[in-house]
Chains A and B, each alone.
Chain A
Amino acid sequence: MEISTCTEKMVQIIANSTLEKSLKKTLKEVGVSGYTLFDVRGDGDSGDQSGHLEGDSNILMMVVVPLKTSQNLMEALNGYLKKGHHLMVFSVDAEVLTPSKFG
């Protein structure tokens, strides 16, 4: 039996947890209806992000959206980078099993 899927964009955003509220607002503004959020740890330009203190805790937000929405989202996220926020954003093609969600 053939399973019906569709290809969408999966966008992942790694940011400091202080940006959580603001990022959720941005997602809403560009029409993203849902997201998955993790508390994550790591290291990089901003130093050790141990998750111990409010200032060194990172989050990872994951959304799966149609191409057009992902482009709008990328544009909105670019605004954060322009302001100087340390954000890691990347997107990959994702084969999605629940195409009905994406019309």
Chain B
Amino acid sequence: MLGLDSLLIPAVLFFALGVIAQLIKSDLKFPEGMAKGISFYLLMAIGLKGGAELAHADLGVAFQAIFWAIVMGFLVPLIGYALLRFRDRIDAFNAAAITAHYGSVSAATFLTAVAFLEASQIAHESYPIIMMVIMESPAIIVGLILAAMARKKFSNPSADGSTNAASAPQMEWSPLLKEAFTNGSVILLLGSMIVGAIASPEAMEKVYPFSHEIFMGVLCLFLLDMGMEAAKRIKSFKNVGATLVAFGVIMPLIGGTIGVFVGVTLLDLSIGGSLLVAILGASASYIAVPPAMRFGVPEANPSYYLTLALGVTFPFNVVIGIPLFYQMATWYSGI
């Protein structure tokens, strides 16, 4: 079924409905604050589900998964930065802020991949969920460091070094690092996983209607809204430029390929599990990272990274990336 019909799952169809509603200028509109509320629910539910499953997991594999998640979290944004800075096409601040989004993850894309696997009745491990938690933060740190380096360079632009060095804005690291490790998504996801892991299974069953049964329906609602948000960003493509739009498609292909390799070869996961790791590599955060970059790399243009993460990469992954990386994982694990 993994051709075009793989797109015929309610979550993806609702995403398409959102895009269409926006394109035909429908007055369909989510109430204020609803998307934020739903994203809270989704993180909490996936955390509870993952935590309950991880309670029975193999610790050795879990630690390996954490290790490779950290490696991916640092490696993917560095590759992205090198690509963006190639021939100086994108300035250092925008490149640092954009690439931080690509090193981090999009929970909504991950959950759409889970929906895809469940609709196709393909099994998957729960280790990628803990990898998702881990991968939220390293890329933010990489982005901040790259921006700090650029700032240092700009503050000493010439050999005489007489005037500008003193006026270079100083980076306040502690609030930024605190933000990277204590941001709302990380706390909610990690906290829910711990609750899911240590709560008694009988008590957890009482929560199942919340964490399991309504989950896919709520995901549809979220993707409907994200479809509208993604389509709204299309009008910004012109400002963002062809180079960045192309990056929004090329980068997930690179990150996803690295993810397939990590999932299949390094972690020895099933095809379903490897697809989820690929999606972690391919997706770009548009919930946790944008606020961190707005605060930490104010020199960058928020319109660029939000348009890329939400308007280009998210739809690309939902429509093309998920089935593509599934095929790639199937092919690669067969050789």
At the interface with chain B, which of A26-34, A65-73, A83-91?
Answer: A83-91
Q: For the side of the interface on B, what is the size category?
A: 20 to 34
B329 at the interface (CB under 8 A from A): no
Chain A: interface size category: 20 to 34
Q: Is the CB of A84 within 8 A of B229?
A: no
Pick the contact of A46 from B30, B169, B295, B302 — CB < 8 Å?
B302
Query: Is the Cβ of A47 less than 8 Å from the Cβ of B294?
Result: no
Question: Using an 8 Å CB-CB cutoff, how does the interface string of B302-332 with A read, 1 for contact, 0 for none?
Answer: 1100110010000000000000000000000
Chain B positions near chain A (C-beta within 8 angstroms): 30, 32-33, 35-36, 93, 169, 184, 225, 229, 232-233, 236, 239, 286-295, 297-303, 306-307, 310
Contact A47 B236, beta carbon cutoff 8 Å: yes
Q: Contact between B303 and A46 (Cβ–Cβ < 8 Å)?
A: yes
Which of A19, A82, A83, A86 interacts with B302 by CB under 8 Å?
A86
Given contacts A52-B35, A55-B290, contact A47 B295 (CB under 8 A): no
Given A52-B30, A52-B229, A83-B299, 19 additional A-B pairs, CB 8 A:
A16-B291, A18-B292, A18-B294, A19-B294, A46-B303, A47-B233, A47-B307, A48-B236, A50-B232, A51-B33, A52-B35, A53-B229, A53-B287, A54-B291, A55-B287, A55-B306, A56-B302, A82-B169, A84-B298
User: Which residues of B lie under 8 Å from residue A84 when comparing CB positions?
Assistant: 93, 169, 297-300
* Given known contacts A47-B306, A47-B307, A52 and B294 CB-to-CB distance under 8 angstroms: no
> Residue-by-residue, is A37-48 near B (CB-CB < 8 Å gives 1, otherwise 0)?
001000001111
